[in-house]
Amino acid sequence: MNNVELLSRIQFAFTVAFHYIYPPLSIGLGVCLVIMEGLYLKTGQKVYEELTRFWVNVFALIFGIGVATGIVMEFEFGTNWAVYSRYVGDIFGSALAAEGIFAFALESGFLGILLFGWNRVSPRVHFLSTVLVALGSMFSALWIVIANSWQQTPAGYRIEGEGMHARAVITDFWAMVFNPSSVDRYLHVLIGAFLSGAFLVISVSAWHLLKGKFTDHARKGMRIGLWVAAIASLLQLFTGHRSADVVTHHQPAKLATMEGHFDKLAPADMYLLGWVDAKTQQTTGLKIPGGLSFLVHGDFKKPIPGLNAFNPNDRPSAVNFVFQTYHLMVAIGMTLIALTWFGLFMLYRKKLFDMRWLLVIFTGSVLLPQIANQVGWYTAEVGRQPWVVYGLLRTSDALSQAVKAEHVVVSLILFTGVYVMLFMLFLYLLNKKIQHGPYVKVEDPETPPSKFNTIAR
């Protein structure tokens, strides 16, 4: 790996991992906002309006950073991965253009009304804006995941040209859109995002309950967050299984990497946790012998091709890394199911709000879906290596020819500095908003509602 490649990969990984903190939070919060504002319209209770306004403020902060860091991603394809851009442009471009035209414009356009339109439009139109922003953010995820899925399981294309002039061109748009992995991966990503947003609501509500502040709002918020998270965590089990199924059929080398399975053709074990030594090709840990074979074929004895069945140049080298990220994701997924359904059970028994130890756990739990989303993507992307487009274009061939290592050093330092600062400011302001809590209006029939906005922000 030369320096330009290493640096460009570090830069892309860093900027995309940082970016991926925010959009899932916006998508998940968007769903919660629709429920909160919907309940306000339905019941007319002020507490739901105040709750919605509070979370809209949090949403604005997260959304703003998501947009700014997202523009970086779009342009980085061109700056650092010019060959890749040329290679996939015919295919990937239409997905990206569709995102810009249909999704991103929708959410950014209506965000203005969501944030500033409280007194300018009727409650119904405002609610409609909230729904459109939420839908827009889900559409954005759709097109991006379709494009990424095409890189994992290309379909509906043919290769034109040779050598450095080769490129993939589209032959069947719908086959490209519904490539073998896109639907399952989209649902997996989307539900991961729901979890991320819902757990932010859960965590903040739990914190307010622990502090005994804004308890009315916090109870309502907790209910909404828990229900969304509980349903999502169960659905995630299903979409996760479906996604693994796609990997099994279309990216067997990735599957073998995920479980640290080396033998050319042998029954494969499933690990609960473990450690892979890629040099000695040994995987040790707590396992269900033949478990992977059972999951894939329904038979503990059926063989599955291991890493040695593939040319060393065509399979991932960071085996232990992928193994660990994958298992961490699964472990967190299971924990979230237990946590949310236990929480709902306690809510049903009317004990939840008095169980301080559980509220403490809920407060910290916001990190769990964040970590799971991150490591899940590490699994998907590192597990795809050494390919940037699976089986077609190698990562090492996809770089910009005009860019030198010193260029990338400069940009990497710039991005690192800016993002570290951005992240600290984000945490500071988020914390401030949370401590400040919902603005509770004192009932005064003489005060027109327009004053509210001034103080809330």
Partner 1 sequence: MDSFLGIDLPTWWFLLIGALVSGYGILDGFDLGAGALHLFFRKEQSRRIALNAIGPVWDGNEVWLVIGGGALFAAFPLVYGLILSVLYLPFILLLVSIIFRAISIEFRSKEPMKWWRQFWDVSYCLSSTSIALLLGLVLGNLIQGMPLNANHEFTGRLLDFINPYAVLIAVTVLSLFMLHGAMYLAMKTEDRLYARMTILINNTSKFFILCFITASMATLIYVPHMQAIFHNHPVLFVLPLTAVLIVLNIRQSIEKRRYLRGFISSSVTIALMLVLFAMGLYPNLVLSNTDPAGHISIYEAASTNKSLSIMLLFAGIGMPLVLTYTVFVFWTFRGKVKSDEISY
Q: Which of residues 119-178 bind partner 1 (CB under 8 A)?
A: 119-121, 160, 167, 169-171, 173
Which 215-244 positions form the footprint of partner 1 (CB under 8 A)?
none
Rounded distance between C-alpha atoms, residue 59 and residue 57, angstroms: 5
Which 31-90 positions form the footprint of partner 1 (CB under 8 A)?
60-61, 64-65, 67-72, 74-90
Q: Which of 348, 350, 401, 443 binds partner 1 (CB under 8 A)?
A: 401
Q: Which of 429, 431, 435, 440 binds partner 1 (CB under 8 A)?
A: 429
Query: By the 8 A CB rule, do 256 and 262 touch?
Result: yes
Closer residue to partner 1, CB minimum distance, 274 or 438: 438
Q: How far is the CB of 391 from partner 1 (least distance, A)?
A: 20
Interface with partner 1 includes 431 (CB under 8 A)? no
Interface with partner 1 includes 447 (CB under 8 A)? no
* Token pair belonging to 174: 């719908």
Interface with partner 1 includes 100 (CB under 8 A)? yes
3-state secondary structure of 158: strand
Interface with partner 1 includes 111 (CB under 8 A)? yes
Interface with partner 1 includes 441 (CB under 8 A)? no
Q: Which of 44, 112, 123, 289 binds partner 1 (CB under 8 A)?
A: 112
Q: How far is the CB of 155 from partner 1 (least distance, A)?
A: 15
Q: Which of 16, 128, 403, 409 binds partner 1 (CB under 8 A)?
A: 403
Q: How far is the CB of 151 from partner 1 (least distance, A)?
A: 15
3-state secondary structure of 268: coil
Query: By the 8 A CB rule, do 296 and 252 touch?
Result: no
The span of 115-123, 181-189, 243-251, 321-329 binding partner 1 (CB under 8 A) equals 115-123
Rounded distance between C-alpha atoms, residue 72 and residue 81, angstroms: 13
Total of chain residues touching partner 1, rule CB under 8 A = 80
* Token pair belonging to 253: 């080398």
Residue 111's Cβ-count burial label (10 Å; 0-12, 13-18, 19+) is: buried
Closer residue to partner 1, CB minimum distance, 65 or 255: 65
Residue 212's Cβ-count burial label (10 Å; 0-12, 13-18, 19+) is: exposed
Rounded distance between C-alpha atoms, residue 395 and residue 140, angstroms: 25
* Token pair belonging to 163: 């050598």
Residue 410's Cβ-count burial label (10 Å; 0-12, 13-18, 19+) is: exposed
